[in-house]
Homo-oligomer: A and B are copies of this chain.
């Protein structure tokens, strides 16, 4: 229990069920004096919110966030920031059948086993709706990281089922409903998703997130390594089944002479490490990749059991994302920002003026 807090110095604690009255978060440890308004959070919330294209769930949520504390006359005060989003579109009757049955591959079963009771409406606490608060909290971290250290955190969809992107055009990412960075793949993705919707099936995806401008020195070995905390953060996102840093699983077949990022006076010569060595940021770009499984709520009938353990056939109606990966990019960005923010503060505790520490070599790949 009490697993709803993330971070050590910059902490985020969340609450809220899919069809409850509201979602909320407390962001504790934000340094004082930063300008902050609700609009700063709304931008990322709007990127994540459902119903913005035909390819995501048709649930309509304004996801309008309110800042209830911790900001005075437009600036953070160092005290905890209370955030609230009221749920407005709760068509709970859609979920009537699910009360007694378990969707295969869904948390329905394990919540029932763990707690002996569950709010079955829309997945309750296990719904990805919870991630709205991560995005809101992450926006605070992103703003601080950028304004005080020039650190940027951004992501994109690199694969939608069988379709792999081939170009990385950052401007394109915000122009299509998939966060796809390759303009040549967008219409293929649209056609794929349209066909999928007709089938009543769902599909997996792969997301990449990249942080640039991260100073060397963040991460606290041996257990709170930066990459370990990133893995924790990413795997805590609904549907994520795998996480890689840098070369990731490709390292298995690499020789040391190939994998190692050689160094020159002008900078590193490659970045297989993904910006982290020995659990500490090297100054290079931090690159993270993750796999998201296909949604478990399908219109295609499946074998399952009910709450008594008796066999049943299950069909999920209601409004669901056929590919949860599509809306996951802002969530993954938020989680990476939260990890970096927490570790920036932890590193500073050591009396290291992060801004003054000069990197021995430039962070760029020559």
Asked whether A304 lies within 8 Å of B263 as measured between CB atoms, the reply is yes
In Å, the complex CA distance between A206 and B104 comes to: 29
* A11 / chain B contacts, CB cutoff of 8 Å: 2, 5, 13
Can you name the residue of chain B whose Cβ is closest to the Cβ of A241? Answer: B251
Judged by a CB distance under 8 angstroms, whether A154 is at the interface is: no
Contact assessment for B21 and A79 in the assembled complex, using a CB-CB cutoff below 8 Å = no
How many residues of chain A are within 8 Å of chain B by beta carbon?
A: 163
A302 touches B (CB below 8 Å) = yes
Partner of A280, one of B26, B111, B260: B111
Contact yes or no, A251 B292, CB < 8 A: yes
Instruction: Return the CB mask of A106-137 against B: 1 if under 8 Å, else 0.
Output: 11011111111111000011100010000000
Cα–Cα distance between A306 and B257 once the two chains are bound (Å) = 19
Q: Is A168 an interface residue (CB 8 A)?
A: no
CB of A1 closer than 8 Å to a CB of B: yes
Q: How many copies does the complex hold?
A: 4
Q: Are B243's CB and A231's CB within 8 A?
A: yes
Q: Is there an interface contact between B114 and A17, defined as CB atoms closer than 8 Å?
A: no
| A349 in contact with B351 (CB, 8 Å) | no
Q: Nearest chain-B residue to A16 (Cβ)?
A: B69
Check B220 against A230 for contact (C-beta < 8 Å): no
From known contacts A113-B359, A304-B262, infer whether A252 and B161 are also in contact, taking CB-CB under 8 Å: yes
A203 CB-CB contact with B under 8 Å = yes
Contacts of A357 in B (CB 8 A): 113
Q: Is the CB of A116 within 8 A of B32?
A: yes
Decide if B291 touches A224 in the complex (CB within 8 Å).
no
A36 at the interface (CB under 8 A from B): no
CB distance from A275 to the nearest CB of B (A): 10
7 A-B pairs closest in CB distance = A107-B278, A3-B220, A3-B224, A202-B256, A2-B29, A105-B260, A232-B232
